[in-house]
Amino acid sequence: MTMENAVPEADRGARARRLIRRQAHAALATSLDGRPYVSLVAMACGMDASPLLLLSDLAQHTKNLLAEPRVSLLFEETAGLPDPLAGPRLSLLGRAERAEDQRLAARFAARHPTSAAYAGFADFHLYRVRIERGHLVAGFGRIHWIEAAELRFAREASALIAAEPEIIAHMNADHAEAIALYAERLLGEAAGEWRMSGIDPEGVDLRCDGKTARLDFAAPVLSPRAAREALVALAQRARNSISPG
């Protein structure tokens, strides 16, 4: 690996988290009696970027992880690239654990509204993947192992966590125009009824007719006041910009 191709160490964790937070689905690898078993799962993220999975007890991957909780998840952004192997991807290693936290359940439901149809079934449970390590391929020659302490977002954000439902409700009710500008002007998405589905210290999640999008903050926000300032700044930037393309 050459120095010019290396991702600076200080940026590796943030880059990997951005890749995780942008995804609504991932490939889940579990162990089937010691043999690899890979399936596609819907996912969301906790505030620290820990993956959240809503799984049925009847699914084979759930039976596998109940016997062996060590799992791996593959996150990638390679669609549309002439050479998909040149695109970024992250193999995340961790342990799947049942999560009873209603805030985490709400984050998953906001990311995947259709899950409300079955989330209350007795055989469905929310799992949080406790991050242990990640293998980041950021492009040709930019390959790094990232340890858990660097990969998880560890700064104190309890005030933002508590305020998330109120922020989302306020933005969707009173600032729909700004949300549309975020999607259309800053992300180049098609026009539509975009809504905010989540906010965390590193950005906001948007949703429109089953499509998801992610807008990252320039710097982490840890409080409702900081979030408001960041959202106002993004709206101003969007109003002053020309839509991509």
Question: Residue 5 above 80 pLDDT?
Answer: no
Task: Look at residues 101, 134, 151 and tell me which one is the last residue of a structural domain.
Answer: 151
Both 115 and 177 in a single domain?
no
Average pLDDT over residues 5-33: 91
Q: How far apart are CA 174 and CA 164, in angstroms?
A: 15
Both 165 and 116 in a single domain?
no
Both 113 and 40 in a single domain?
yes
Both 143 and 199 in a single domain?
no
Nearest Cα to Cα of residue 55 among 198, 67, 63, 131: 63
pLDDT tens per residue, range 98-122: 999 999 999 999 999 999 999 889 9
pLDDT tens per residue, range 139-152: 777 899 999 999 99
Both 90 and 142 in a single domain?
yes
Q: Is residue 168 part of a domain?
A: yes
Q: Name the more confident of 8 and 25.
A: 25
Per-residue pLDDT at 242: 66
* Burial (0-12, 13-18, 19+ Cβ within 10 Å), 164: buried
Both 59 and 125 in a single domain?
yes
Both 173 and 69 in a single domain?
no
Both 141 and 163 in a single domain?
no
Please name the amino acid found at residue 62. T
Question: Residue 234 above 60 pLDDT?
Answer: yes
Please, what's the b/e burial string for 185-221 (b: 16 or more CB within 10 A of its CB; e: otherwise)? bbbebeeeebbbbbbbbbbbbbbbeeebbbbebeebb
Both 24 and 106 in a single domain?
yes
Q: Is residue 123 part of a domain?
A: yes
Question: Residue 244 above 70 pLDDT?
Answer: no
* Structure confidence at residue 1 as a pLDDT band (50, 70, 90): very low
Question: Residue 8 above 90 pLDDT?
Answer: no
Q: Is residue 245 part of a domain?
A: no
- Counting the structural domains of the chain, the total is 2
**% pLDDT > 90, the chain:** 88
Both 72 and 191 in a single domain?
no
* Structure confidence at residue 241 as a pLDDT band (50, 70, 90): confident
pTM for the whole structure: 0.92
Task: Look at residues 151, 172, 190 and tell me which one is the last residue of a structural domain.
Answer: 151
Q: Is residue 137 part of a domain?
A: yes
Both 114 and 25 in a single domain?
yes
Per-residue pLDDT at 4: 39
Residue 23 structural domain: 3-151
Both 136 and 31 in a single domain?
yes
Q: Give the CATH number, domain containing residue 78.
A: 2.30.110.10
pLDDT tens per residue, range 71-101: 999 999 999 999 998 899 999 999 999 999 9
